[in-house]
Chains A and B, each alone.
Chain A
Amino acid sequence: MRYWRDPLDAGQVGAPRGDVHILADRCKGCAFCVEYCPRQVLEMSREFNRKGYHPPEIVDAEACVNCGLCEMICPEFAIFSVESAGLAGDLAGVSVGANIRAGEGAS
């Protein structure tokens, strides 16, 4: 997400934080979650699951903002995120301003 300027309350508004949970043995390795995660939390693993597919693995757990996109797009019901307690809205957490800066670096 890019804005043409930093929002005025960028320093005060906190983004939620999420914990990603992967049910690796249910995954069929389509990589939708890895491709469309807006925060690049995931990467395809080099390991195999029980069915012989490569499931995603978490490479940047801190970056998750609990948007739930991975959960919605996963055709296998194999990934979801839950809001991590205590960190939502935390000023020390991921702020919108940090989002913009991270987004600029990543996209």
Chain B
Amino acid sequence: MFYSVEYMGRPTLGDKLELIALSSVANLQTQAYGSEIRRHVNSLRGYDYSVGAIYTTLSRLEKKGFVVSEMTEPLPVRGGRSRRLFRITGLGEESLREAQALAQRVWNIGLGVPS
């Protein structure tokens, strides 16, 4: 049996886009809002994601508790609309570290590095 009991009931990162968006939020820090995150994700993936794809992913990350968001004051450059700033949570950071550790293990196995 290879089930990991500790993960049961705990939110996990769903797909690659969630992982990349989460790492972008962590990387951009105080500048983590939709447009900047989209640019960051697009440059990492080499693919032009739509604004809807990014926001729905960020919304899922927020529901899972990996990020939190807050609205800024309305800005003229945005047609009087607010920016939604995202910030990574402790749970999000933990999930990023776990994803990194898993990738490292998989990488080591592929290269035949003894663990």
Our verdict on whether A and B bind, yes or no, reads: no
Residues of B within 8 A of A (CB): none
Residues of A within 8 A of B (CB): none
